[in-house]
Each structure stands twice: as C-alpha cells, then as structure tokens.
Amino acid sequence: MAYDIAVVGSINMDVIVDTPNYPEYGDTLFCDSIAMKPGGKGANQAVSVAKLGKKSCLIGAVGNDSAGKQLIQNLNSKNVDTTHILQSEESGTGTFVAMIDSTGENTMVGTKGANDSLTSEDITKTFAQIDAKILLIQMETSRESIIAAMKAAKERNMYVVLDPAPADGIFDEAFKYADLITPNKQETKRITGIEVTDEASALEAAKKLNELGIKDVIVKMGEDGSLIYQNGQATIVDAIKVKAVDTVGAGDCFAGALASSYLDTNDLIESAKFASVAAGIKVSRHGGQEAIPTLKEVESYLIK
C-alpha cells in the first residue's frame, strides 16, 4: 500500500484536566473540567497529516480494550489508515493525564502501555507491506520499534523526520538514522546540554545536533519561533501571534504540518512557516485532535 507519509508512534487516551493553577505538592484543588480525549504523539501527527490532505497510515499499538477500540474508530473517522495498528492482549492502551493551567501551558504524566509492546518484528512485517515518501516518528514507543522503523525507512529511501519527544524517551542511537530532527527547548537541552534562551544559543545547539550526524535541524523555540539549520546556514521562522489557550498536541500538529508541506515543497524554510501557522492555530483553540486545523484553514491564514 502506498502512502504520502507513514507515522510510527503512540496512541493514547488522554485525560485532560483544566485547572486555574497547578497544585502544590500534597495539595488538593478543584479544577474547571476533566475530559477524556484521543491523543498520543503518533495519533496526533497522523491526524494532522490527514487533516492537511495527505494520505497517512499510523503504525502503532493499543490494548484490546474499550479505549483501544474507541481510538481506532476515532482515527478511522479522521481518514487515518489504521490497517497497521496492533491490538495487544497483554498490555492496556496507553494513558496520559495532562494538566492545563490558565496560560494554556500543559504538564503531563502517563504510561506507555501497549505502545511499548511494539516489536522490531512487528515493524519489519509492516514495512514490507507499505511504501511512503516520508517517515514521521517520535520516541513514545519501544526503542526496538523506533530503531527498526528508522532503519527500514532509510533502506527504502524515505526522508526520516524525528520528533525527539517526549524528552524522557530520548536515546542517542536514533540520531544516526534521522534526516531531520525537530526538538523543542526542553528536548534540545536534554540532547545537547545547551539551554535555548535566544537565537545564538539555538544556533549553538543546532550545530551540535548537526555534528551528531543529523543533516537538517529545526530547533523549536515556542513563541519565539523556530531556527532552521541546513547546509551550514541558519534561518529564523517566526511564530504567529495568537493567544495560547491549550498547548496539548501543538508540537505534534507542527510535525504533521511540517512533513505535509515538505512533501510538496522540498523546502524546509517554507515548510516551517506552514507548520508554524498550523501549530499557532492549534494552540489558539481548546481541544486535542479536533483543534488541529484543516488545509483550508492554514491556507486561508497564509493568504491574509
């Protein structure tokens, strides 16, 4: 089966807690709302790709439970090909709790569950059945599945985009198989030891990432935009100005939009501009995957 973009990654049920403030250690607070929503970095990125008009498949795992069935149904409704999603009998569906405060910032904790059950054999079997131009991958499944997918993609001449998130899942071996890496500030510090505070520190970090053997680098700086580093040259792409109300999934929206645009343009700077608009629209809305913009919405913003 041929796809534009293959996504290997996590599929989770997210418990979203809206709270005026984060509780202090040991405190009990009343929050504004609690809701269960489809999430997971892989699922979010695959939905972003599909909503932007590209043919995507998601390779991952859920538990053979009610949450897993709901998540597969949700992905099908959003035009993501779920043929290659496994249902584990041994592990439950991954679950994360996200607390969102009044500024829109989020803090998360969770369990990978079935995401961690994905094996290299599962990946090898799936890649023998698919063809795609770009692999989009994060670090929220098992290490062996990540390496197997990146190796298989390189063997098939796919352009490999590594979103090294979450920071807790980062491991060095994956870097040598990536064509492009897109860390945020926290992930950049985890990998390079450099705290990104401005353009100069972002450039220093990008050079260090490049020295690890990664050809193209995008350091995401939140509201300060992104630094694109390729062929020894750095370019800043500004973030769009919006009032952030919900940052959950913003990085996933950026990744999906970046890959979708790069498929058309083969231009990282233009793709980063496109992705910045998509992510900006996402954070200006409440919600998870339903808040990811469509291609029409992004294009409408770009022609203003």
Residue ranges of the annotated binding site for ATP are 184, 220-225, 251-252
Distance from C-alpha of 110 to C-alpha of 121, rounded to nearest angstrom: 26
Number of residues that make up the chain: 304
SS3 180: strand
Quick one: DSSP state of residue 157? T
* Binding site feature residues: 12-14, 40-44, 140, 184, 220-225, 246, 248, 251-252, 282, 285, 287
Binding site residue list for K(+): 246, 248, 282, 285, 287
Q: Residue 24: which residues within 8 A CB-CB, separation 6 or more?
A: none
CB atoms within 10 A of CB 51: 26
Residues flagged as binding site for substrate: 12-14, 40-44, 140, 252
210: Cα separation from own chain's centroid: 20
8-state DSSP, 238: P
CB 253 within 8 A of CB 279: yes
Active site (annotated) includes residue 81: no
SS3 216: strand
Nearest 10 degrees: Cα torsion 168, 224, 99, 116: -30
Check 81, 122, 216, 252 and give the catalytic one: 252
Annotated active-site positions, please?
A: 252
